[in-house]
Amino acid sequence: MPKQNLVVSDTKSAINMAITVAMSNPCLFAAAAQKPPAVLGGYFTISRKKLLQNLDINGGARINSVVDSMRSSSPTHIKSNPPASDQDQSSWILHHPSALDMFEQITNASKGKQIVMFLDYDGTLSPIVDDPDRAFMSDQMRATVRKLARHFPTATVSGRCRDKVYSFVRLAEFYYAGSHGMDIKGLSKGSKYEKGTQAVLFQPANEFLPMIDKVYKALVEKTKSNPGGNVENNKFCISVHFRCVDEKKLLQNLDINGGARINSVVDSMRSSSTTHIKSNPPASDQDQSSWILHHPSALDMFEQITNASKGKQIVMFLDYDGTLSPIVDDPDRAFMSNQMRATVRKLARHFPTAIVSGRCRDKVYSFVRLAELYYAGSHGLDIKGPLKGSKYEKGTQAVLFQPANEFLPMIDEVYKALVEKTKSTPGANVENNKFCISVHFRCVDEKKWSELAQQVKSVLKEYPKLRLTRGRKVLEIRPSIKWDKGKALEFLLESLGYANCTDVFPVYIGDDRTDEDAFKVLRDRGQGFGILVSKIPKETNASYSLQEPV
């Protein structure tokens, strides 16, 4: 169990420990030294035409992940996959240990504090069933929850209509938050935890009720042609259940308002900004401890991590800015230390190692200067393998993968337009990263952020085949193709011959929002783990944490 204190470790220390364990553990060392990766080139058998179709280069950015997300949440779809192996199960349990197994540690953490319980309903208090109107909780579960509410304030928080959930639970000593928290009611008068003269009642979206009712009726009518579809009016929201619907007939009725509108550029800039974060009160010791409990230091958990990797081929993926080098005001001066370079060189002697960055690949190489590494620049849109003769290089030439070559003239054109457009904003820095453009606003007055965002968006209006994302105090302009750092990770694993292997253990270390795509891929694969480099708690798909480099 990790110590519940502030993380004081750093990236270099974690890499050094990985090397030490590799050298001292015969299984790991043998896997790295005696079992070289399979022949490269898994992706090169795909025709360019098929690749372009897969990446959706010519169709612009399509928000079309609805069906995929529905599949991933569907028990039927999940059951169609092969069951997880014991190794995969063990790896998942390592990252998400049983609350019962960890109960002593959890109760120790709560000593002297007021426990407050929040419980979802469907799938938590009741089983998931085909007919949502029959999602009954058992009498035994009701008795258990009633006992819980005698000792702690307890709330049920559900996407269902609050009255519907109450009709299932039937416990007056609860708080009920229905419609995903948009309809909250407190305890009945006279209850142990009830305060004031009446129960709490909070409904922040009353003005939407007529619209919700109107859309509900439209959806009922619209989905009549889909057998098995069930439209449920949850008062402040609507649920369209598709558990009993044929997948193929589903998409026709989803695009009600013409697609999603992405309009949160300024807010996202603030949320990713160190300056903005520092303007907030610092996280309390309790908040820090809670975050560390869920994202323990990779150094504190190193023994458990190495146990999970025994007998598997470790493959390392490292972000550059904020991971191997500190974050600096001038992106052209984000140098890594000689000590860090030596550490990464040692790592690459034992494991295939890749740098995955949003920067131009040539720029990253000029910082790192290690020929034995893989380099994935421009968020994975520009990948090159080790030089000929390197331990992990295969074939007659290094791997080279550039799926967005046709965008280069457009990128250059937009780069010039952005340089001209942002001249009026002091501190703005536009960087051409070959297959993407970075607009750095670290040195821009926060009051000017909205103006800068509008300048960038006004240029991009003329280029629908480019999309806007953001990182740590930077706006990123990229081709609208289905490619990111997660895809780059998968491509490199396939190139190394590990696409469908159960004996590979990928480790990805990164600090930025764009690294979350890679963290998510590792979670979805159930292999290896992600490590977030951060000095503050933040939402992440990574399993572990490290301090930022200095």
Is pTM beyond 0.75 here?
Answer: no
- Under 8 Å between Cβ of 387 and 395: no
pLDDT of residue 228: 81
- Written as one letter, the residue type at 56 is D
What are the backbone angles phi and psi of residue 18, rounded to the nearest 5°?
-60, -40
Q: Read off the tokens for 323.
A: 């991971």
Stronger pLDDT, 61 or 545, i.e. the higher one: 545
Neighbouring residues of 72: CB distance < 8 A, sequence distance ≥ 6: 78
Q: Read off the tokens for 314.
A: 């470790």
- Of 166-175, 270-279, 366-375, the one with minimum mean pLDDT is 270-279
Stronger pLDDT, 17 or 432, i.e. the higher one: 432
Q: For each of the domains in the chain, give its residue range(s) and CATH number, in order of start.
A: 113-204 (3.40.50.1000), 208-242 (no CATH), 297-403+483-546 (3.40.50.1000)
The number of angstroms, rounded, from the C-alpha of 412 to the middle of its chain's C-alpha atoms is: 30
Stronger pLDDT, 39 or 381, i.e. the higher one: 381
pLDDT higher than 90, residue 522:
yes
pLDDT of residue 432: 95
Active site residues: 319
- By percentage, how much of the chain surpasses pLDDT 70? 66
Q: What is the mean pLDDT of the chain?
A: 75
Map tokens 């109450």 to a residue.
166
Question: What is the distance between the alpha carbons of residues 410 and 463, in angstroms, rounded to a whole number?
Answer: 8
- Under 8 Å between Cβ of 431 and 443: no
pLDDT higher than 80, residue 173:
yes
pLDDT higher than 90, residue 301:
no
What is the maximum alpha-carbon separation in the chain?
81
pLDDT band at 84, cuts 50/70/90?
low
pLDDT of residue 144: 86
Q: How many CB atoms lie within 10 A of CB 63?
A: 10
pLDDT of residue 464: 93
pLDDT higher than 50, residue 2:
no
pLDDT of residue 29: 37
Q: What is the DSSP letter of 6?
A: -
Mean pLDDT value across residues 324-345: 89
Stronger pLDDT, 39 or 538, i.e. the higher one: 538
pLDDT digits (tens, 9 = 90+) for 42-64: 333 344 444 444 444 433 333 23
pLDDT band at 81, cuts 50/70/90?
very low
Mean pLDDT value across residues 249-264: 39
Mean pLDDT value across residues 483-498: 92
